[in-house]
Chains A and B, each alone.
Chain A
Amino acid sequence: MEGDRSVSDRWLGIKVADKLFLVALDFSTDPPKVIGELAIAVPKGDRIEGYVHVHNRLRDFVIQNKITDVAVAASALSQGGTGLGHLKAAELRGVTLFTCKFAGATVHAMDMAAVSRNKAYGERTAKQYVDDPNYWEGRFAEELSNKDSKFAAYTIEAARKSLTL
Chain B
Amino acid sequence: MLSNAGHFSTVHEGVDPVQGKVAVKIAKQLPQEDPAAFRKRQIALLQEGQMLKRAQHSNIVRVHEVLQTSDQRHVLLVTEFCPGGSLGSSVAAGPTPIKRTRNLLCQVALGLQSVHQNHLLHRDIKPANILLDARGNAKLSDFGLVTDQIIAGFANFQGYYPHLAPECHANRLTSEQSDIWAFGATAYRILNGDALWPGRGGGAAVVTLVTQGGFAKQLDWLPHIPREWRTFVKKALHDDPTKRHESAADLLSALERLPVEPDWECNFTTPVVRWTWEKKGRIHEVVWDRTDPAAQSWAARTLPCQGSSGRPHTVDGSGGPVTFKEAQAGLEQFFESRVVR
Contact = CB atoms under 8 A, between A and B. Distances in A.
B257 interface: yes
The binding surface of chain A is classed by DSSP as: mixed
A60 B110 contact: yes
Given A44-B259, A64-B114, A64-B117, A39 B253 contact: yes
Interface string A38-59: 1111111110010001001100
A38 B249 contact: yes
A60 B58 CA distance: 10
Contacts of B110: 56-57, 60
Interface string A105-132: 0000000000000000000000000000
Interface centre among B256, B258, B259 (most CB of A within 10 A): B256
A46 B263 CA distance: 11
B257 A41 contact: yes
Interface string A12-40: 00000000000000000000000000111
The binding surface of chain B is classed by DSSP as: helix
B283 interface: no
B175 to A, nearest CB: 20
B102 interface: yes
A56 B117 CA distance: 15
Contacts of B103: 49, 53
B252 interface: yes
Contact of A44 (B117, B249, B253, B260): B260
A69 B139 CA distance: 29
A57 B114 contact: no
A43 B113 contact: no
A151 B7 CA distance: 55
Interface of A: 38-46, 49, 53, 56-57, 60, 64
